[in-house]
Structure 1
Amino acid sequence: MARTPRGRALGNALREARQEHGLTVRGFATQLGRDPGVLSRWETGDRIPKPEQVAQILTALGVNGQRFEEVIDLAYGASDSSWVATTLPENRQQLAALLDLEQGATNITEVSPLLVPGLLQTTDYIRGIMGSGLPAGELATRVSIRIGRREVLTGHKPTQFTGMIGQSALTQVIGSPDVLTDQLRHLLEIGRRPNIELRIIRSDSGWNPALDGPFMLIEGPSGVAVHLENRKSGLFLHEEADIRMYRQAIEMVRTATLSPEDSAKLIADLVDRMERKA
């Protein structure tokens, strides 16, 4: 069975709890009376332990309270066809799973009709999105996480990334006109990288699946997943039929986009116009 995003998140939580105690897989497996290979596959998400098996592991590691409950919750439905997160703990778990998937990805395609995709956002643009109503400490943490995600595009082995951005996102002022101008300059710069392809979704293209909302298709050696997010909840899909539907949606959106060359020209023209207006 292919690894599910929720199963991977459960495995990561179990591995982190073990590592916090300085235990090896083999040593901890002996302590539990389990096969080391089985424990290893639980931690990678290749196999899904039963909730009572997860409880045994957490109890042996002294995990209790809210953390115990959150990890146990992951064990229920870890092999389901989708993962919906609506509570704050679930959203945090999904964010951890998203980071894990991004870091192991070979290809990421993001369709973003209203905003610049998260992996391409400048720090000030991120602050402009996240700054409303958050305590300073929480804002700093969220900004730091978003900034850290960009490493998958610029690191030693960068992921191949295709960003399909709605034309209206290029003129939507986030933070201030200067912040938007800097963001557009960043798009021009990062779009020159060989692993990044940027395409602007034409505003005159009529209906296309991007108008249903943003989504991300993440592909890697361990499988493929789609991630969707709104203000309150997040959703992971990984079933073959769902992946096929979103691949088709991407191809439909692609027909509504400008070429990378024409997209870069459009962005450059906007930057020039904004600089002359400043």
Structure 2
Amino acid sequence: MVEELLGVALGVGAAGAVYVAAAARVVKQYERGVILRLGRLRGTVRDPGFTLIVPAVDRLHKVNMQIVTMPVPAQEGITRDNVTVRVDAVVYFKVVDPTAAIINVEDYRFAVSQMAQTSLRSIIGKSDLDDLLSDREKLNQGLELMIDSPAVGWGVQIDRVEIKDVSLPESMKRSMARQAEADRERRARVINADAELQASKKLAEAAHQMADAPSALQLRLLQTVMAVAAEKNSTLVLPIPVELLRFLERGAQPAPEQAVEPTAEHIAVEESEPPGQPLQK
């Protein structure tokens, strides 16, 4: 009798252990559990930790609550200014309502992926090439709004959308390179012309200053000679200013003879002499 009771107790204990092993579930810290009993939603969402379900009756669905990083495959489209581009992006999202993510949509990851691809193609057709290349922050916000609107009913929240890369045709790359090169050359010419204008103004001011003080030209000439002599050249070419040559020319001319003023006696003699006769003093 005791042996029979002991055998029954062992059998019940073994059955209980099997039941507990079949009913025991562990929900991780970053997960939430949704119970479906005979196909119907049962109770509240199970929190992280140890939990029990009814074997063969309940089915536990674990939903990851972490932020999911999903790459969006590259989409090829034509921009509003008729340029063919290939754009890829990445979507960051997380589940905020585990029940809606299980009940309202078959596969929320696949749904978000398809919505992201469709929205990316739509945003390509609505944007210009310059916007895709320079104003990505605005396009990212537009993509986020387009994906987040239907995702709210799926229990999914779009955290961020980023455009990763914009691929252009080789012909368009060459055209943009030529445009950038021409723009840089134009700016270089404008800067060079501006520098020439400023230099000419300074030279004109220096010329007026030297015209007022001729000695400044001599000082400048001596400075030039010193700068050339510092190079240790064997031949020294010394420029002579025109003002110095004019000064030397004026010094070489003879002094003009002084005219003798006629006196009253000379005037009387000249009047008494007949014409054609030499003047006798």
Q: TM-score, normalised by structure 1?
A: 0.15
**Which protein has the larger Cα radius of gyration, Structure 1 or Structure 2?**
2
RCO comparison, higher one (Cα < 8 Å, 6+):
1
Q: TM-score, normalised by structure 2?
A: 0.15
